[in-house]
A = this chain, B = another copy of it.
Amino acid sequence: MAHHAELIAVGTELLLGSIVNTDAQMLSQALAGLGINVYYHTVVGDNPQRLAQVLEQAKGRADLIITTGGLGPTCDDLTKQVVAAAFGRKLVFHEESAQRIRSYFAHRGRSMTENNLQQAMLPEGCTVLSNDWGTAPGCAWEQDGITVVMLPGPPRECRAMLEHRVLPYLREKGEGEILSRTLCLFGMGESAIEAQLWSEMERMTNPTLAPYAKEGSAELRITAKGSSREECEALIAPVEQALRKRFGALIYGADVKDLTEVSCRLLLEQKVTLATAESCTGGMIAQRITDLSGVSAVFKGGVVCYTNEVKRDIVGVPEALLTEYGAVSEPVCRALAENIRIKLGAQLGLSVTGVAGPDSDDRGNPVGLIFVGLSDGAHTWVRELHLGQNRGQNRNFAALTGFDMVRRYLTGLPVE
């Protein structure tokens, strides 16, 4: 079974930054699922010399080499020629692939230029990976203990070929499983988490434990290797349990996308409706909620109350509060949460008001002072944040705090 994989993407457009190498991400995720370690991604242009050098080196350090791109019909598509040469194979004409290419054009009522048949030239003795999603077939073979796989570059074709051609091909050779579980935390930074877990992480070998920073929140990934999925799960379970015991309410989910999705899922499951009143986040919370389709069942809408007039006239914050305490204050945040839920007829009202920066407000409130409020009619909770100077980070953290308060409310945890 392959243990050390290298992914080689061929294409000058990648080196120009015209496109991003999503094929590498896709393949890496799939190989991790097979328990194959990917040690290197390499991107090289449509240049035979440099590609040949990259291949030589990959042969020396990898036992699975997967190339993407450069299989097309144009003159700068030279991956097959160079890879075949690197492994001392000639390209031979593959009639079945030629037929597929001809019918591909026929089905689309397009005339085929001769250069398209170049794509039917494949390394002698290879396993042809037929391409039902484009014209260029892929191929694979094993030689000198190295498995070589070539795939087309267009992500849509690459993904389909991976799923329907490569994974079955690799699974046959595979043995063993790898499984990851990612715990997501809000309210504690990556470095603080690591400081706590340092000694454990050092000692652990299987499963392993690694923290990752994630815009405003943090992730803890547990990765186990075993002979079966069940064995991996048995290795992960006690570690997850211990982490949950240690971090408790800070953990907002396992293998989840983000706090927005987690809290919106809870709203949908419990059929609880929400309305928002946003000052300094300026619609960020509403925008993230509405990124999810189907959320209209629980999201009534919101008001971006960027001025005192809108806070007063549209949301209904009493003038007295605004004049006495100012817009950036606990009482106004409270009033925003309480009034927006009534105005929009929602069960929950979520509000944000603060100084995102870079300038302090007219009352001299410091940059980073932000209030986040949640009201259910019976009770209203307000969190007071003291953040940094970065406007974008402040807005993001305030939005996350709002989602975390919703998450805590709906799971019966202390909201403040």
Residues of A within 8 A of B (CB): 9, 12-22, 24-30, 32, 37-45, 47, 50, 53-54, 57, 61, 72-76, 104, 107-110, 113-116, 132-133, 154, 156, 180, 189-192, 194-195, 198, 201-202, 210-213, 215, 221, 276, 278, 280-287, 289-291, 293-294, 296, 299-307, 309-310, 313-314, 343-345, 356-359, 368, 386-392, 395
Q: Tell me whether A359 and B14 are in contact (CB under 8 A).
A: no
| A300 contacts across to B, CB distance below 8 A | 306-307, 309-310
A12: shortest Cβ distance to chain B, in Å? 7
Q: Tell me whether A25 and B20 are in contact (CB under 8 A).
A: yes
Q: In the complex, what distance in Å separates the CA atom of A108 from the CA atom of B300? A: 33
Most buried by B among A16, A32, A45, A300: A16
Q: Tell me whether B108 and A388 are in contact (CB under 8 A).
A: yes
Q: Tell me whether B310 and A389 are in contact (CB under 8 A).
A: no
Q: Tell me whether B294 and A283 are in contact (CB under 8 A).
A: no
Q: Tell me whether A304 and B302 are in contact (CB under 8 A).
A: yes
A2: shortest Cβ distance to chain B, in Å? 14
Known: A110-B189, A285-B283, A343-B314. A42 touches B41 (CB 8 A): yes
Q: Tell me whether A314 and B42 are in contact (CB under 8 A).
A: no
| A29 contacts across to B, CB distance below 8 A | 16-18
| A9 contacts across to B, CB distance below 8 A | 41
A280: shortest Cβ distance to chain B, in Å? 8
Q: Can you name 7 A-B residue pairings with CB atoms under 8 Å? A: A13-B212, A74-B190, A291-B395, A296-B306, A300-B307, A301-B307, A309-B344
| A43 contacts across to B, CB distance below 8 A | 24, 40-42
A20: shortest Cβ distance to chain B, in Å? 4
CB-CB nearest in chain B for A114:
B195
Q: In the complex, what distance in Å separates the CA atom of A212 from the CA atom of B153? A: 12
| A192 contacts across to B, CB distance below 8 A | 113
Q: Tell me whether B290 and A301 are in contact (CB under 8 A).
A: no
Most buried by B among A107, A304, A395: A304
CB-CB nearest in chain B for A361:
B296
Q: Tell me whether B107 and A389 are in contact (CB under 8 A).
A: yes
A272: shortest Cβ distance to chain B, in Å? 15
Q: In the complex, what distance in Å separates the CA atom of A389 from the CA atom of B106? A: 11
Q: In the complex, what distance in Å separates the CA atom of A390 from the CA atom of B104? A: 10
Q: In the complex, what distance in Å separates the CA atom of A149 from the CA atom of B180? A: 33
CB-CB nearest in chain B for A289:
B282
Q: In the complex, what distance in Å separates the CA atom of A287 from the CA atom of B288? A: 10
Q: In the complex, what distance in Å separates the CA atom of A21 from the CA atom of B38? A: 15
| A289 contacts across to B, CB distance below 8 A | 282
Q: Tell me whether A76 and B210 are in contact (CB under 8 A).
A: yes
Known: A25-B20, A74-B190, A191-B73. A286 touches B304 (CB 8 A): yes
Q: In the complex, what distance in Å separates the CA atom of A156 from the CA atom of B392? A: 10
Q: Tell me whether A391 and B306 are in contact (CB under 8 A).
A: no
Q: Tell me whether B17 and A20 are in contact (CB under 8 A).
A: no
Q: Tell me whether B39 and A191 are in contact (CB under 8 A).
A: no
A278: shortest Cβ distance to chain B, in Å? 8
In-complex Cβ contact of A17 among B26, B40, B104 (8 A): B26
